[in-house]
Structure 1
């Protein structure tokens, strides 16, 4: 027996009612995609490896949407009430998801179970929307099922487009993760509740109307209260992650930048980028080992620093006589600005950016090298690659064969490049893949390492570096600073390329 929806009693003409339903589809689709992108973005920030996190969220949500579509069949007899209930729960769950994930990360150190759980619940609720909305459209005006589905999905896809563009260009930069998700939940609740409580109010009993009105009101109150508390919540969560001595916390367009310690805190100055420790009490060991072997190996009048916006690699470069110019290419201007203006960090880098020989370029190192084509103030006697670990997905292209080929173009004859390749003891596959990738562009390499001092927030054992040149090179023991140890290679590894990154296995 075929189920035929009973025509709805509407307060407006059928054409206008149908337009209002499709408008609600548009709004709900935009909100649904924002929830999805917010989960992916926050998981990538908190867990790392954006490819894996996006795959987990998308696969779980698509599966859950299928489950939700099947479960919605039980609600079709009371489609208006079911849709309103689904939207209220979705608004609350999606709106609070960012705050809940950040809380799990800050206080429990575990985010993945919550990520899977929210992806599953939100996916089920989003999947339940389409069958219920299809029933509501058919109740307004009977039409060919194919045409109704086409209209429904057209509004859904256009809404997804708007949500997908609003998230990176409006919600994330203007409101941030937490407030953006809460506002999206509020919009979702208003759209779903208003459609049913006004357009389909004839389908509801007086008790059902008051129940829905109360439920949506409570959802909006909860979201509003949480929005007011986002500031204290972020501060408390940040203290749980970084300790109570957070001095500076900046959300730039690239990442979260946090400075802790220093001053009278009794703790060494620490710099965190997107929750990952980049500068700690033993940073002199790292920067001396990265810079000095390359600088001591020959001429060093022209120096290029890729990354290193904190100014600490530049500090080591400027210690050497004969430096004529230093070009720093840093993706995040906020890090450079902090290195210039924060008293503690500026003192640590010896106010390197006040030196007239230093020039800063804000931009992506890969794009800058590609556009330069060898005319970027080079050729350079020394190139220092002070970039995030190669195991992080956003950094993969900066450890690719294509990237090192661009670097080789700007190296002077006899010039040296120093590369930070990760921890050779904890992640040997990653380190030796960097070595294989550098050698694949025709450079000779001399791998070496330095032991790290024990430090909080990290289980790092040490750092691995590569000194590379077109001619055979060997890292010299520095006169001061930590001793370096020569490392011996792992043969047979293939280079990493843009089309085939090989660091995930590390």
Structure 2
């Protein structure tokens, strides 16, 4: 009997693993799809915990054949939890509003998971003192949760991806049910029926796992208008490339990052004013910009001796270095002998490096959650300005002054408050794929737009247009905002507020 008790306690360990993994899957997938990781994980944790409480309460109504109920419950948790990522991806693809489906899926899994522990305690209570049973069950449960929390970011997501992870742990739940059937076959009636249920659930999950890539591809094809030519989930983001005729588009977590039809407008506007102001750039640091497009513009200046590109995701820099189509678009800049690639968090890099640069270019994603919002805080701009040579220039993309005017000026105002005696100016350019787009630049002396020139080949900028970038119409002009700080990322809220006005 003691061996069977150990088996049931082992099932608690596996069930705890699986339950936490389903919770992490829902939070991670929602964060990938919608951004704002704090909101998504807060919602998921709240829904799961409250649903688990409901499941624990409902379990008291199961009064007979507890072992059989536990086995069927495990199989049900496996199927529902295993397909939870698929269900949420489908909801995001087809539903007008995603959150109710998150509540439905998370609540269903939570109710089923919440009923497991009370059932097992009641099953085990006759095999020893109640206090020992409760202690053992919860100790093993918490140990299983710890194992899942370590495995999920270190091994599961990087190696398997979200959907395959869901199917794997769903299969583990069902396997637990099957093993319990075998171990307690002498106490169970209609054993063959239980085996059949477990086998059906297991085969369903195996089928889902085998077709997981096709499922991801199908949902992505539904979400994107054009042909998908590359798609990969990395530990950091979902990278998707689409193509329609000559237009290749890069999406990160479903958000458009560049279109080859007009990316030159953005990258020329980001790079050339800073290079022109400095006049003799030798060392450049690019934060973000793993696509190599900004670097392509930098290398148009013969004075540049070396450049460092700091991009968190090694898959981005690898893709744009090795893919022949993308390599042609960035002019082979990633593979240039002057280029040093650093795959690291930009803030960590700035805090550790002892190098100084003539120009620092922040080609980072928009601040749609706190993970990116920290890269537009006072601390970050301060760290960046400390790595500038005495006459160095810092420039950053700063989202749209039209769609998110408050967020744009928040970035400008935060940079101005963070770079010491340097002068900060704002400018903007029209990029058809994105609309009016803004930039913020910090220089040793105030910029005189009439003195700016473009001395290298360009497709968009000339001396007239580069000088005109610094003029703002009344409805885009400066406004007072709070500053963006690590402990209060007001920028993320302003960004969401601005874009939501236009139903983005």
What is the TM-score with the length of structure 2 in the denominator? 0.89
User: What are the superposed Cα offsets for residues 438-471 of structure 1, whole Å, 9 maximum, x if unpaired?
Assistant: 1222243111111221x4xxxx432111011243
Q: In the aligned structure 2, how far is the partner of 1:286 from the partner of 1:321?
A: 21
SS at 1:306 equivalent = strand
Q: How does 1:19-38 map onto structure 2 within 5 Å?
A: 19-38=6-25
Aligned to 2:221: 239
Q: Residues 116, 486 of structure 1: CA spacing in aligned structure 2 closer, same or farther, 3 A cutoff?
A: farther
1:182 aligns with 2:139: no
Q: In the aligned structure 2, how far is the partner of 1:96 from the partner of 1:110?
A: 20
2:152 to 167, 171, 175: 167
Q: In the aligned structure 1, how far is the partner of 2:312 from the partner of 2:27?
A: 22
Aligned to 1:451: 430
Asked if the contact 1:446–1:475 (Cα under 8 Å) also holds between the matched residues in 2, the reply is no
Aligned to 1:277: 256
1:216 aligns with 2:198: yes
User: Which one is further off, 274-283 or 123-132?
Assistant: 274-283
Q: Residues 486, 390 of structure 1: CA spacing in aligned structure 2 closer, same or farther, 3 A cutoff?
A: farther
Q: In the aligned structure 2, how far is the partner of 1:56 from the partner of 1:449?
A: 37
Deviation of the 1:90 alpha carbon: 0.8
Q: In the aligned structure 1, how far is the partner of 2:298 from the partner of 2:109?
A: 51
1:501 aligns with 2:489: yes
Could you list the runs of 5+ residues in structure 1 that have no partner in the other structure? 1-12
Asked if the contact 2:48–2:107 (Cα under 8 Å) also holds between the matched residues in 1, the reply is yes
User: Which one is further off, 423-432 or 288-297?
Assistant: 423-432
Aligned to 1:3: none
Deviation of the 1:267 alpha carbon: 4.0
2:305 to 324, 336, 341: 324
Asked if the contact 1:417–1:467 (Cα under 8 Å) also holds between the matched residues in 2, the reply is yes
1:406 to 383, 396, 421: 383
Q: How does 1:470-489 map onto structure 2 within 5 Å?
A: 470-474=444-448, 481=460, 483=465, 484-487=469-472, 488-489=477-478
Asked if the contact 1:467–1:473 (Cα under 8 Å) also holds between the matched residues in 2, the reply is no
Deviation of the 1:112 alpha carbon: 2.5
User: What are the superposed Cα offsets for residues 295-349 of structure 1, whole Å, 9 maximum, x if unpaired?
Assistant: 1112322221111111100111122342232221121222122222222211111
Q: In the aligned structure 1, how far is the partner of 2:402 from the partner of 2:349?
A: 32
Deviation of the 1:251 alpha carbon: 3.2
1:393 aligns with 2:377: no
Deviation of the 1:437 alpha carbon: 1.7
Q: In the aligned structure 2, how far is the partner of 1:283 from the partner of 1:505?
A: 27
Aligned to 1:291: 271
Q: Number of aligned pairs?
A: 475
Q: In the aligned structure 2, how far is the partner of 1:359 from the partner of 1:46?
A: 31
SS at 1:221 equivalent = helix
SS at 1:165 equivalent = helix
Aligned to 2:361: 384
Asked if the contact 1:467–1:474 (Cα under 8 Å) also holds between the matched residues in 2, the reply is no
Q: Residues 437, 217 of structure 1: CA spacing in aligned structure 2 closer, same or farther, 3 A cutoff?
A: same
CA RMSD of aligned residues (A): 2.0
Aligned to 2:101: 114
Q: Residues 211, 485 of structure 1: CA spacing in aligned structure 2 closer, same or farther, 3 A cutoff?
A: farther
Q: Residues 445, 76 of structure 1: CA spacing in aligned structure 2 closer, same or farther, 3 A cutoff?
A: farther
Asked if the contact 1:414–1:469 (Cα under 8 Å) also holds between the matched residues in 2, the reply is yes
Asked if the contact 1:294–1:417 (Cα under 8 Å) also holds between the matched residues in 2, the reply is yes
1:429 aligns with 2:406: yes
SS at 1:289 equivalent = helix
Q: In the aligned structure 1, how far is the partner of 2:128 from the partner of 2:300?
A: 80
Asked if the contact 2:367–2:492 (Cα under 8 Å) also holds between the matched residues in 1, the reply is no
What is the TM-score with the length of structure 1 in the denominator? 0.89
Q: In the aligned structure 1, how far is the partner of 2:376 from the partner of 2:107?
A: 35
Q: In the aligned structure 2, how far is the partner of 1:292 from the partner of 1:148?
A: 69
Deviation of the 1:472 alpha carbon: 2.2
2:3 to 1, 16, 19: 16
Deviation of the 1:200 alpha carbon: 3.8
Asked if the contact 1:34–1:167 (Cα under 8 Å) also holds between the matched residues in 2, the reply is yes
Deviation of the 1:126 alpha carbon: 1.1
Aligned to 1:10: none
Deviation of the 1:203 alpha carbon: 4.5
User: What are the superposed Cα offsets for residues 261-294 of structure 1, whole Å, 9 maximum, x if unpaired?
Assistant: 1xxx514011122222111122111111111111
Aligned to 2:324: 343
Asked if the contact 1:302–1:381 (Cα under 8 Å) also holds between the matched residues in 2, the reply is yes
Q: In the aligned structure 2, how far is the partner of 1:503 from the partner of 1:147?
A: 51
1:198 to 162, 171, 182: 182
User: What are the superposed Cα offsets for residues 451-494 of structure 1, whole Å, 9 maximum, x if unpaired?
Assistant: 221x4xxxx43211101124323556665626425343222x23
Q: How does 1:331-370 map onto structure 2 within 5 Å?
A: 331-370=312-351
SS at 1:272 equivalent = strand
Q: In the aligned structure 1, how far is the partner of 2:99 from the partner of 2:9?
A: 35
Asked if the contact 1:383–1:417 (Cα under 8 Å) also holds between the matched residues in 2, the reply is yes
